[in-house]
Amino acid sequence: MVATLYINGLWREASDGGSHDVQSPHDQSVVATVSQASQTDVLDAIAAARASFDSGVFTSWSFKERSELVAKIADLLERDADVIARKESDDTGKRFIEAQYDVADVVATFRHFASLGAKEHGRSVDVGIAHVSSRIVHEPLGVASLIGPWNYPLLQIAWKVAPALAAGCSFIIKPSELTPQSAIALTKIIEEAGTPKGVANLILGPGSVVGSSLISDPRVDLVSFTGGLTTGQTIMKAAATTIKKLALELGGKNPHIIFADADLDAAIDNAVTAAFLHSGQVCSAGTRLIVERSVHDRVVTEIVHRAGKIKLGGPNDESAETGPLISKSHLANVSTYVEKAIAEGATLLIGGERSDKAEHAKGWYFLPTVFDNCTSDMSCVQDESFGPIMTVEIFDTEAQAIAIGNDTVFGLSGGLWSGDSQKCARVASALRHGTIWVNDFGPYRPAAEWGGYKQSGIGRELGEHGLGEYLEIKHIWTNNAPSRSGWFKDL
Ligand code: NDP
């Protein structure tokens, strides 16, 4: 039996004894066995979070005290970085070194929110009356369900946990059932750092089973979710009944525009990274390449050449450059996406199938894939594949490049390459996406807000706004010289 649920300050087994084997996407070996929560466990976790919040055990801490806790968690994460990175790499199949980068980003996230929380909060408002003091204060929002995806499991949960703690919320963490180990490690550290019992709770299990109460229970005030568009829509509907606050980080179909006057060598290299890093399992992957006609042939030829040389391999293969897809069912989805693209008339230039190498036989390895002759009306251009698939479209004018880049229901991120700084400024301003990279693609920092326009989400994580998602704003008006209002006739 395994006791990997954390509820009200105690590690416990599932109440019905349920457990789940976590399989490596590299070779299907079992890398861990974890508890699988029952509905009773979910309700217990929500009750614990609610009770701890309402008791004031954590909300009574000052911002400064909570910031010290968040900073301590950053230190402990740094201490255990390699152990946690190993678990992350086992669960996701990503290379150990990539998981190490992820954990370093997680530490930076906790440090960012520690420093933000330590700042002065609230402000005075001049209401123009000498005997009235008017204060805007920030208070912890309440109980939050924090639901994360499998592609960057610890990082995406950290973007939620760190501000929730800095703000003084109580919460229930729910990682993807495919990748639970790093959330267990983080919860152990939250406990070790001295977080009051009931504040942090951990529920494991498939979203379709354990998710329902987390998104609809009236005792939950906020759902902060990172995942796919369809699940986001389910959450919005469920949350409507009790008007929960929502923070949604959903998918993206991110345009990557290359103008003919760009540094083409750098642009091509970054285009390959943007599309094939982590085998395309990145919400901000630059999988929609939009190239100026005059340089199309050179750009596409070089990308295809480089895509064919990318080395696939498992967590322990030091020569590997990217790893497997997360699961058999995800591989099936990506394969279906390819079949559809071919049926719609896109030209397959390379890849489009599973790797046939013997060492990949037990894993979910998919070859880097490039489709040319794509147009905006094709589903392969509009839908997120979340796999290593690049589609290529052509433009002739700046206005066309912008129109194509905005022709999507998503709006998470985009990039553009040009040697003309005025053109860069115009296009960056015209693209309706939450992050725009100019002559770059991919970097982010915890101090800068992250999130999507349109159907890529609601709200922002990171930056200052990322803390604001977990705070209520209260206006306190104090009249220091009380008098009658005099509005109605004398009684
Ligand atoms: P899913 O939407 O399938 O799942 C995300 C999380 O939601 C998982 O923990 C899942 O649990 C859970 N879940 C599933 N169904 C429900 C439900 N009915 N109620 C409550 N929780 C539920 O997304 P993926 O995990 O497949 O992640 C990939 C998606 O995430 C992509 O679309 C990607 O673009 C997006 N993403 C967005 C980011 C951003 O910053 N905008 C960052 C990273 C990813 P379980 O897996 O256990 O079933």
User: What digits encode the pLDDT tens for the residues 250-282?
Assistant: 999 999 999 999 999 999 999 999 999 999 999
Ligand 1 neighbour 250 (Cβ under 6 A)? yes
Mean pLDDT of 387-400: 98
Rounded to an integer, the average pLDDT of 381-401 is 98
- Nearest partner of 114 among 165, 44, 39, 80, judged by Cα: 165
Angle separating helix axes 153-167 and 181-192, nearest 10 degrees: 30
Query: Buried b vs exposed e over 69-107: b needs ≥16 C-beta within 10 Å?
Result: bbbbbbebbbebbeebbbbbbbbbbbbbebbbebbebbb
Determine which residue's CA is closest to atom 12 belonging to ligand 1: 207
- Inter-CA distances, 429 with 85, 292, 423, 437, Å: 37, 19, 10, 11
Residue 375 has pLDDT above 70, yes or no: yes
The whole-model pTM stands at 0.97
Residue 459 near ligand 1, beta carbon < 6 Å: no
Other beta carbons less than 10 A from residue 364's beta carbon: 27
Answer whether 25 contacts ligand 1 (Cβ < 6 A): no
The verdict on the CB of residue 231 being under 6 Å from ligand 1 is yes
* Cβ–ligand 1 contact at 436 (below 6 Å): no
CB of 153 closer than 6 A to ligand 1? no
Mean pLDDT calculated for residue range 379-390: 98
| pLDDT tens by residue, 2-57 | 999 999 999 999 999 999 999 999 999 999 999 999 999 999 999 999 999 999 99
What is the whole-number distance in angstroms between the Cα of residue 231 and the centre of ligand 1? 7
pLDDT interval class at 119 (50, 70, 90): confident
Which residue, by CA, sits nearest to atom 34 of ligand 1? 251
Ligand 1 close to Cβ of residue 156 (< 6 A): yes
Count Cβ atoms within 10 A of the Cβ of residue 414 and give its class: 0-12 exposed, 13-18 middle, 19 or more buried.
buried
Tally of CA atoms within 13 A in the half-sphere of 460 that contains its CB: 17
Q: Is the minimum distance from the CB of 226 to ligand 1 under 6 angstroms?
A: yes
Residues 198, 191: Cα–Cα separation, whole Å: 10
Contact between 453 and 461 (Cβ < 8 Å): no
Main-chain phi, psi angles of 144, to 5 degrees: -125, 135
Burial 2-35 (b: 16+ CB within 10 A, else e): bebbbbbeebebbbeebebebbbbbbeeebbebb
386 lines ligand 1 (CB under 6 A): yes
Reading the block at residue 323, the tokens are 């790893």
**Mean pLDDT, the chain, whole residue set:** 97
Beta strand pairing call for 222-226 and 143-147: parallel
One-letter amino acid at 207 equals G
Q: What tokens does 295 get? A: 């340089």
Q: Which residues sit opposite 144 in a β-bridge?
A: 171, 222
Cβ density class 468-480: b for 16+ within 10 Å, e for less? bbbbeeeeeeeee
Answer yes or no: is the C-beta of 281 below 6 A from any ligand 1 atom. no
The string of pLDDT tens digits covering residues 321-365 is: 999 999 999 999 999 999 999 999 999 999 999 999 999 999 999
Phi, psi of 84, deg, nearest 5 = -70, -40
Backbone angles phi, psi at 22, to 5 degrees: -90, 125
Ligand 1 neighbour 177 (Cβ under 6 A): yes
Q: How far is the CA of 366 from the centre of ligand 1 (A)?
A: 21
Hey, whose CA ends up nearest to atom 23 of ligand 1?
Answer: 227
Report d(CA 141, CA 143) in Å as an integer: 7
Cα(226) to ligand 1 centroid in Å equals 6
- Please, what sign has the CA dihedral across residues 303, 309, 314, 320? negative
> Which neighbouring-strand residues pair with 348?
371
pLDDT in tens, 405-451: 999 999 999 999 999 999 999 999 999 999 999 999 999 999 999 99
In angstroms, rounded to a whole number, what is the distance separating the alpha carbons of residues 4 and 222? 24
Residue of 145, 151, 325, 450 to mutate, ligand 1, most atoms within 8 A of C-beta: 151
Residue with tokens 């070790």: 192
Amino acid (one-letter) located at 346: A
Our separate counts of H helices and E strands in the chain read 15, 20
How many residues does this entry show for the chain? Answer: 491
**206 within ligand 1 shell (Cβ under 6 A):** yes
- Separation of alpha carbons 27 and 8, rounded Å: 36
Nearest CA to ligand 1 atom 9: 176
Pocket test for ligand 1, best of 147, 203, 412, 458 (most atoms within 8 A of CB): 147
pLDDT value for 491: 63
Cβ atoms of 275 and 300 closer than 8 Å: no
pLDDT band per the 50, 70, 90 thresholds, residue 121: confident
Question: What are the C-alpha distances in Å from 185 to residues 82, 85, 207, 222, 378?
Answer: 12, 10, 20, 24, 42
CA distance 110 to 162: 5
Q: What's the Cα-to-Cα distance from 130 to each of 98, 127, 134, 479, 485, rounded to whole Å?
A: 58, 8, 10, 9, 17
Which letter, b or e, does each residue of 300-311 get, where b requires 16 or more Cβ atoms within 10 Å of its Cβ?
Answer: bebbbebbeebe
List, for residues 44-83, the tens digit of each pLDDT value.
Answer: 999 999 999 999 999 999 999 999 999 999 999 999 999 9
Closest residue to atom 22 of ligand 1, CA basis: 207
Give me 307's structure tokens.
């895509």
Tell me the two tokens of residue 4: 């990997």
CA distance 415 to 274: 10
Return the closest-CA partner of residue 20 out of 152, 151, 245, 175.
Answer: 175
Residue 386 pLDDT exceeds 80 = yes
* Alpha carbon of 404 to ligand 1 centroid (Å): 27
Distance of CA 51 to the CA centre of its chain: 28
CA of 208 to the centre of ligand 1 (A): 11
Asked if residue 104 has pLDDT above 80, the reply is: yes
Q: Which of 36, 179, 231, 333 to mutate to test the pocket of ligand 1 (most atoms within 8 A of CB)?
A: 231
121 CA to centre of ligand 1 in angstroms = 32
CA of 250 to the centre of ligand 1 (A): 8
Distance CA 102, CA 139 (A): 30
Kindly report the protein residue whose alpha carbon is nearest to atom 14 of ligand 1.
Answer: 207
Helix (H, G, I), strand (E, B) or coil at 306: helix
Q: Is 234 in the pocket of ligand 1 (CB under 6 A)?
A: yes
For ligand 1, the distance from its centroid to the CA atom of residue 476, given in whole angstroms, is 39
Asked whether 148 lines ligand 1 (CB < 6 A), one says: yes
**Active-site residue list:** 249, 283
- Measure 233 CA to ligand 1 centroid, in angstroms: 11
Q: Which atom of ligand 1 is nearest to the CA of 149?
A: 25
